[in-house]
Amino acid sequence: MISWREKQKAFIPGEVELLQDQRILDFFGKVPVYSMGDVNYFQDKLNLVHKPGKQALAIINKETSDKELAQLLHPIKKIDRVCVSINKFLIYTNSNNEQVDDDYDMALLHFIENIFEDKRIDHYFVKELKGHHFNFASPTTQFFIE
């Protein structure tokens, strides 16, 4: 079975890193990174560890509720440098909150800001998706938190 990443790479001539992957590699370098989620691709590219430290990478690429996501991210919210990479199409909520932003990307950013209070957050996402971009369930929504 071909992974979503290999499907995406098949459209790109030559051997290159996908932009969302390159951002993660550039952010962490070779310093130990506590990892959680779908991090298999980065096993040989980053110094991944299973014990929390000064950096953390969380890749969420499975159906997850907002409450589950908040619980998953809670243990890493005090870590100095964090990357949260999310497949935004797999995050759902069971609540009806009228104060949530109508723009889904901004609502997700506000959700992350509430977890990582008082931290600087760089937010990357595909703007104005509108059917012009198909991403094979790629976690292209990324938050780089310091």
Tens of pLDDT, residue by residue over 105-116, are 888 899 999 999
What share of the chain in percent tops pLDDT 70? 75
- The segments of the chain whose pLDDT lies below 50 read 131-137
Question: What is the structure's pLDDT at 47?
Answer: 96
- What's the pLDDT score for residue 90? 83
The two three-digit tokens of residue 91, written as one number: 């995050």
Domain limits of the chain? 4-145
CATH code linked to domain 4-145: 3.40.50
State the CB neighbour count (10 A cutoff) for residue 76. Answer: 19
Angle at 108 between CA 107 and CA 113, to 5 degrees: 95
Phi, psi of 123 (to 5 degrees): -115, 125
Radius of gyration in angstroms for the set of CA atoms belonging to the chain, rounded to a whole number: 15
pLDDT for the residue 32: 96
User: In 3D, which of 115, 61, 56 has the Cα closest to residue 80?
Assistant: 56
